[in-house]
């Protein structure tokens, strides 16, 4: 099982959500987050106060899928829809997942996704 975390631009939320719906993922968790990437070191001086202008609002998706193939499908759907080609488009992090437990039934593993 794989867990995919994707940080995307807030304005891409609807498109990414729709693309994930289309490939029929079994569940999605979404967060509003703040973050920065490579440009974080670029501090600007605003009225004598150093402000990190690169801590931006982003949307984080979490999706758990059963196989590597589903992970690739999910990654492709996100990258295709979230990409503008400009800095700040976000990132996709992929993890191996040990287990999933469905609370209602007690099912574990792939059955619980």
What is the binding site for ligand ATP (CB under 6 A)? 7, 35-39, 56, 58, 87-91
Residue with tokens 């499908």: 73
Closest residue by beta carbon to ligand ATP: 35
- Which of 32, 39, 67, 84 forms a contact with Mg ion (CB under 5 A)? 39
Structure tokens at 1: 């099982």
Task: Calculate helix-pair angle for 68-82, 13-22, nearest 10 degrees.
Answer: 150
- The site partner of 25 among ligand ATP, Mg ion, none (C-beta below 5 to 8 Å per kind) is none
Task: Give least dist CB 52 to ligand ATP, A.
Answer: 11
| C-alpha to C-alpha distance for 56 and 66, rounded to whole angstroms | 32
Give the residue with the Cβ less far from ligand ATP, 32 or 67: 32
Structure tokens at 3: 């867990």
| C-alpha to C-alpha distance for 109 and 113, rounded to whole angstroms | 7
Strand partners, 57: 34
Contact code string over 43-82 relative to Mg ion, x by CB under 5 A:
----------------------------------------
């Amino acid at each position: 099982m794989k867990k995919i975390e994707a940080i995307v631009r807030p304005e891409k939320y609807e498109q990414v959500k729709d693309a994930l719906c289309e490939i029929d993922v079994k569940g999605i968790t979404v967060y509003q987050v703040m973050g920065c990437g490579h440009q974080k070191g670029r501090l600007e001086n605003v009225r004598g106060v150093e402000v990190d202008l690169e801590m931006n609002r982003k949307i984080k998706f979490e999706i758990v899928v059963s196989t590597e193939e589903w992970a690739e499908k999910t990654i492709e759907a996100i990258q295709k829809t979230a990409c503008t080609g400009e800095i700040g488009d976000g990132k996709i992090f992929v993890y191996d997942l040990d287990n999933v437990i469905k609370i209602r039934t007690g099912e574990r593993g792939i059955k619980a996704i």
